[in-house]
Every structure is written in structure tokens, then in C-alpha cells.
Structure 1
């Protein structure tokens, strides 16, 4: 899994958002590249194109007890997830920017080198502009594909 070119992977992300009694689920499937540098794993992929036709490149940086998400394009943001810690960031969209506060409950990443598949589980509460946006439960499956 070492290398500068990256390994082609298929990514499937399922996110459930609970806001009081409301529940919403989103799914995203994409292909991208996985890089491993020491104990850090990077997953880079282009999100499916939104209504405005502009793409967003997303990079996940996964370390032992921390993850960061960087999105650049139609949406721009940098968000850090550290279990048991509240972090702050900014979210930029065509509609303006919003302050984000993330309270990460837990995070778990596993990579099975034999099967060439990984799973990521992330649970957090998100506040935008000081108001609760919801409790997020995200499951990501990353599977190596033949290049």
C-alpha cells in the first residue's frame, strides 16, 4: 500500500443524520486513490457533481486517533475529527460561509491488507453558525480495485 501514485479504490459512504425526531440518510459512491505514508492513510476522490456542475475533490487524512476531511471545489471546507474533542472550522458554499463546530464521539478505521478492504466509522455532532445541524453517523467502505 506504499507509494506515491496511489492505489485505485472504490469508496462507498453512507451517512445518517439525526436532528431531533428527523432522520435523513445520504449515500455517495465514487472511485479514487488511496495513499499510505507511514502511519497516515490518505483517500482522495471526486464527489459526484452537484446541481451547479462543479466538482468537489475530497481528501480524507486518517491517523491513529484523528481524521481530517478537506473538500475543495463547489464546496470548500476543512474539518478535523478527534474523539472526545470539539474542533472548529469553516464551510464555504455558493451560498456563503458558515462557522462549524464538530464534537467527535468516536472514530474507527480498519484496513485489511489481505482482503484489500477498509472500513471507517465516524460519529459526531455538528453545529453550523452556533445551531445544531444534527448527529452524524458515517460508515465508509474502501475497496481496492484493479487498475
Structure 2
């Protein structure tokens, strides 16, 4: 597959592992799902639907990868979450709840993105801390692989 095929969107198999530590609670989450990879301009977009085991609903998730190595993660649920990851920096994110906007920030000590063309695949590692004001909400590790 050539990079130019990405402008129309390419189906990908996604394997996602998330490790979450909030105060004393630790949880691990795994997801294997089909998604789509699209190139718009110089950015790559990975889109998939995240199933909710309890409700049966599916939440649209988009990860945007910029040429500068930044990653934007958007979960478009009832409460919309927009996270922005920049290696080694503290950046403002958005959490739009049904009760209003909640200011949050991410600090990203580890951010690695690696893409290969034949076959087209990607490997993403993000370790981040999530803050609401000065309070640490949690410590997260995302490990994502996708293959066309």
C-alpha cells in the first residue's frame, strides 16, 4: 500500500492496551478492534469505535498524529474528552462534561510514534499524567499498535 491511498482511508486492525493508576486503584484495559487510518494534509488520523461493555454503546475515538510528533486524542462520548500530548510538556486539554467544561492538563514524560510503510503499520507509546487544576487525577500508559 502506498501513502497516497491513505487520503481515502484504509482499514486497520487495532490493538490497544491502557494501564491506569488513579490514587490506589490500578486497572488494565485491552481492546482489539477494526478502525480506519486517513491522511489529511500532513496529519494522520486513526479512528475507531470503542465499545462500552455495560451499555452496548460505541464511543467514537480519533487519534491525530502530527508531523511534529504530537498526538491529539478525542473521545466523543456524552462527555467529550480532548487530550493533547507533547513529549516532555504540560499542555491544556479539554473535558466537556454535561455539567460544563472542566479544565484539565496532560504532562507527557514518554511519547513515541513509529510508522512503517510495508505493510503500513504503527506503534504508539504514550505515558502521561492527567491533572485537574493542581490535583493529579491519574497516571496512564497507552500502548497502541495498528496494521493495515
What TM-score results when the alignment is normalised by the length of structure 1?
Answer: 0.83
What TM-score results when the alignment is normalised by the length of structure 2?
Answer: 0.82
SS state at 2:88 partner: coil
Corresponding position of 2:54: 51
Residue 37 in structure 1 maps to residue 61 in structure 2: no
Distance 2:21 2:142 in 1: 12
Change (3 A) 1:79 1:89: same
Change (3 A) 1:19 1:66: same
Distance 2:115 2:141 in 1: 19
Distance 2:23 2:80 in 1: 27
SS state at 2:87 partner: coil
Gaps of 5+ in 1: none
Gaps of 5+ in 2: none
Equivalent positions of 1:91-130 (< 5 A) are: 91-93=95-97, 97-128=101-132, 130=134
Instruction: Choose which of 94, 110, 133 in structure 2 pairs with 1:90.
Output: 94
SS state at 1:114 partner: coil
Distance 1:74 1:50 in 2: 16
Tell me the alpha carbon deviations over residues 95-133 of structure 1, each in whole angstroms, 9 at most, x when there is no partner: 765321111112111112113221000111111354212
Indicate the structure with greater helix content. 2
SS state at 1:61 partner: strand
User: What is the CA-CA distance between 1:50 and the residue it aligns to?
Assistant: 5.1
What's the Cα RMSD here?
A: 2.3
